[in-house]
Structure 1
Amino acid sequence: MTKENCLVVLAAGRQLDLLRGEAFRIAKDNKVGWWTDRADLGTRFCFEDAKAKDAFALTCDNFGIRCQDG
């Protein structure tokens, strides 16, 4: 699994559930796969292409949830 198109998100509980739903929607709209993995701090969301990753980063910003490349 490449970490090229991944973001590490600092969220828990309902926020994390919300982001999982958004990641699913974004991946489906872009016809790509996605997965999550544990990170040292937070959860890593990975997508098969950069366009989906960028859309997910914008979603995080819109919800006021901090994320970083990871």
Structure 2
Amino acid sequence: MASEHCLIVRAAGKQLDLLRGEAFRIAKASQLGWSTDRADVGTRFCFEDAKAKNEFAVVCDNFGVASKDI
């Protein structure tokens, strides 16, 4: 998956589980793929489309979770 459609998110526990659920919902609604893996300073969420990544960034902001483009 292209790295330009990825975000690093700093979350743990239930908050991270909630974000994974939201990433799944966004990707399913857009009929796109997504993935998540560990990063040095958080969790990397990658999407097949920039629009889906941006929508996920808004969700992170709404939940008060810091996210960073990579």
Per the shorter chain, which TM-score range? Answer: over 0.9
Q: Give the percent of matched residue pairs that are identical in Structure 1 and Structure 2.
A: 70
Length-normalised TM-score, structure 1: 0.96
Q: Once superposed, what is the RMSD of the aligned Cα atoms?
A: 0.7
Structure 1 residue runs of 5 or longer lacking an equivalent are none
Are 1:31 and 2:31 matched, yes or no?
A: yes
Aligned residue pairs: how many?
70
TM-score of the pair, normalised by structure 2: 0.96
Q: Which aligned segments of 4 or more residues in structure 1 are displaced greater than 4 angstroms?
A: none
Match of 1:13 in 2: 13
1:66 is aligned to 66
5+ residue gaps, structure 2 = none
Which has the larger helix fraction? 2
